[in-house]
Chains A and B, each alone.
Chain A
Amino acid sequence: MKLVVNGEDGDFNSGLTVSRLLIEKEIKMPEMVSVEINGQILKRNEFDQRTLEEGDKVEFLYFMGGGSGA
Chain B
Amino acid sequence: MELDDRQIKRYSRHIILEQIGGAGQQKLLESKVLIVGAGGLGSPAALYLAAAGVGTIGVIDADKVDLTNLQRQIIHHTEDVGTKKVVSAKNKMLAVNPDITVNTYQHWAMADNIREIIRDYDFVIDGTDNFPAKFLINDACYFEKVPFSHAGILRFEGQLMTVLPGETTCYRCVFNSPPPPGAVPSCSQAGVLGVLAGVIGSLQATEAVKYLLGIGELLTNELLTYSALTMDFRKITLKRNPNCPICGENPQITELKDEEQVECDLDNCEC
Query: Which A residues have a C-beta under 8 Å from some C-beta of B?
Result: 6-7, 26, 28-29, 31-32, 34, 36, 39-41, 43-44, 59, 61-70
Contact = CB atoms under 8 A, between A and B. Distances in A.
B153 interface: yes
Contacts of A34: 174-176
Contact of A44 (B128, B176, B188, B241): B176
Nearest first, the 10 A-B pairs at minimum CB distance are A68-B39, A64-B152, A68-B37, A68-B129, A66-B187, A67-B41, A31-B183, A69-B129, A66-B153, A66-B154
A32 B157 CA distance: 15
A43 to B, nearest CB: 6
Contact of B237 (A28, A32, A39, A43): A39
Nearest to A57: B237
B270 interface: yes
A67 B129 contact: yes
Interface of B: 37-42, 61, 63, 66, 68-69, 126-131, 134, 151-154, 157-159, 173-176, 179-180, 183-184, 186-188, 190, 192, 197, 200-201, 223, 234, 236-239, 241, 243, 269-271
A65 B239 contact: no
Nearest to B270: A28
Contacts of A26: 270
A59 B222 CA distance: 12
Contacts of B37: 67-69
B236 A64 contact: no
Contact of B188 (A6, A36, A41, A70): A70
B203 to A, nearest CB: 12
